[in-house]
Structure formats: structure tokens, C-alpha cells
Amino acid sequence: MSYLFESFKGWKQYCESADVSLVQSVIEYEVDQKDSSEEKIMTGLQHAYTVMKEAVKTGLEDEMTSRSGMINNGAKKVYNHPLAVLSPEFQKLISRALAAKEVNSCMGRVVAAPTAGASGILPGTMVTLQEIHGLPDSKILEGLLIGAGIALIIEEKASLAGAVGGCQAETGSAAAMAAGAIVYALEGTVDQIFNAVAITIQCMLGLVCDPVAGLVEVPCVVRNASAAAIAFSSAQIALANVNAVIPVDECIEAMGEIGSSMESRYKETAMGGLAATLTGQEIANRVLIQDIEILPDESLPE
Ligand code: SF4
């Protein structure tokens, strides 16, 4: 019987008592749940990572303008800008996270990890991590398995959906998955991996879901970039053994508590926050008119 990912404390205890690694415990779970084999799970994961890499490439090379016009080739502009504000690596990280998410906003193919709204964070962080540290694909795939275990626990204790827990649940969870994967891939301990998750969640708590015009474009795309940066800052802090103080399970419980007390206008309804601004409302009206204009004539009222 595999571990059912109810808590981080339980995950660690299970691995210690069953003498399996974190990665192996996720593979056991996947094999059990999908009635599959380790080989098939790893093949599927390799495919998912290939799609992530393709999304980064597509977003940096192809035309990326969304139908609303709110997304307009931002990733390429960042990637090609002559001034790197911090380092060329940071510039690449930000542009890659933007790129993969722009592909999603322009209806291209992405991996929803854990959701389409947060689909730029793992591609941006993993591709950049792999390049900087010269890691093989196998190490990145194991990191993604760690991320999967983290997501399973967040889903169990809080939520992964913006409509349930606000944007902290989507981009916050993806950032936590990425931070754990980064620490794992850089040979961090179990405690350091879990500490990276706790620090990331602490940084993302309370973030509302307020997509302009109800489209997963603004602020979603730029939040993928900031979440990717937070994943790296959390990993850097955790690898240095700086303690999050509040244990990771309690951080996730706080996320659940905040999500459940968040008003519905901040949960993907496009009725609050940025969506409710004057400009947000104007864009929503324009998008609605565009949609009516492209309806076939016979569907319009007489
Ligand atoms: S604002 Fe809402 S729709 Fe956009 S990424 Fe965050 S949770 Fe998803």
C-alpha cells in the first residue's frame, strides 16, 4: 500500500519507516493509482517535460498575441532586452516562465502543473535550473516527482484551484512544487526540501485570483514570472538551513484557512481586485463585444 500524501510529516515518516526515497514513494503512489508501471510513469513524465521545454521555446520564438490583445509577445521582449537587471540567468528565468504561460494564454499546448494558470512556473524554473547546473533530464524528472508529491499534499490540505483558494492555490502551489524540486535536484535533504515549500507558501499566502475579463492572462502571466523568482529565492534560503519557523504542514493549513475565508470576488469570478478596476471593466466590456461580433449571425437575437 503506497503513501496517500496527507501531510509532509506523514510523507517523511512513511519514507523513513518503509526505507524508500521521497521520489520512490511518489512513483509507488502513481503506479498504484493509475494501475501502471514505473516505466510507463517515467515515460509519461519525460513526455510532460518535453512539452514544457517546447512551450518555453514556442513562447520565445513564435508570435504570441492573445485574442484580447492583453498578451503581446512579452516573453520575447524580456528575453531580448539589452539590460539584465540582476543577471543574464535571472533574465532567462523570467522570460522562460513568461514564455510558457503566454503559450497557454494564446491557446497553445502546455502542461497544467498543477493548473493551466500556473503552467509557466515549472517550465521556467526547471529549464533554467537544468541549464545553470548542467543537470541530466533524469534529475529534473525526479524533481518533478517531488513536485507532484508536494501538490498532492496541498490538494489534500488546502486546494490547487484559484476558484477555491485564490491565486495562492495556483501560482503559490506551483512555486512550492518548483522550490522543492530545485532543492531536491541540488542534493538538498528532506528537511530542506520541505522547508523550501514552507518558505514559498509563506511568500505567496493571501494572493487573490482576479483575472481581468475572466481571461487567464492579466495578472496571471506576470505572476508566473514572480512565482518562478520566489521558487529560486526560497530554495536558496532553504539550502542554507534558514528555518521557516512555521512547519510546512501548518503553512499549508494557513493557506487553506485563508482560501476558505476569501470572498468569492477574489476566486476567479473576475468581480474583484484587478478585474474590478476601471480599466479591467473596460477591457471586459470590449472582450464581450468582440465575442458577440464573432458569433454566427443565426445565433444573434432578431
Ligand atoms: S489570477 Fe486566478 S486565473 Fe490567474 S493564475 Fe492566478 S489563480 Fe489562475
| DSSP notation for 214-259 | G-S-TTHHHHHHHHHHHHHHHHHHHHTT---SS-HHHHHHHHHHHH
* 220 CB within 6 A, ligand 1: yes
Cβ 173 vs Cβ 154: under 8 Å: yes
How many alpha carbons fall within 13 Å on the CB side of residue 202? 18
Q: Which of 82, 167, 176 is nearest to 121 (CA)?
A: 176
Grid cell at residue 151: 501538490
Q: Mean pLDDT in the chain?
A: 96
* 171 CB within 6 A, ligand 1: yes
Say if residue 292's pLDDT is above 80: no
pLDDT classification of 1: cutoffs 50, 70, 90: confident
Name the closest-CA residue to atom 6, ligand 1: 167
* 167 CB within 6 A, ligand 1: yes
3-state secondary structure of 267: strand
Tell me which of 66, 70, 170 to substitute to probe ligand 1's pocket, judged by most ligand atoms within 8 Å of the beta carbon. Answer: 170
Say if residue 301's pLDDT is above 70: no
Kindly give the number of the ligand 1 atom that is closest to the alpha carbon of 210: 1
Name the closest-CA residue to atom 2, ligand 1: 209
Q: Considering the chain, what percentage of its residues have pLDDT values greater than 70?
A: 97
Tell me which of 119, 154, 268 to substitute to probe ligand 1's pocket, judged by most ligand atoms within 8 Å of the beta carbon. Answer: 268
Kindly give the number of the ligand 1 atom that is closest to the alpha carbon of 116: 8
Mean pLDDT of 31-59: 98
Grid cell at residue 222: 506576470
Quick one: pLDDT at residue 298?
63
Name the closest-CA residue to atom 8, ligand 1: 117
Q: Considering the chain, what percentage of its residues have pLDDT values greater than 90?
A: 95
Write the CB contacts of 206 (distance below 8 Å, at least 6 apart in sequence): 166, 168, 258
Q: Which helix (H) or strand (E) holds 40?
A: helix 38-61
Say if residue 168's pLDDT is above 60: yes
Mean pLDDT of 281-288: 95
pLDDT classification of 293: cutoffs 50, 70, 90: confident
Quick one: pLDDT at residue 297?
63
- Which tops the pLDDT comparison, 302 or 35? 35
Distance 131 CA to ligand 1 centre (A): 28
* 216 CB within 6 A, ligand 1: yes
Cβ 95 vs Cβ 79: under 8 Å: yes
* 211 CB within 6 A, ligand 1: yes
Cβ 12 vs Cβ 18: under 8 Å: no
Mean pLDDT of 217-229: 98
pLDDT tens per residue, range 61-110: 999 999 999 999 999 999 999 999 999 999 999 999 999 999 999 999 99
DSSP bridge partners of 133 = none
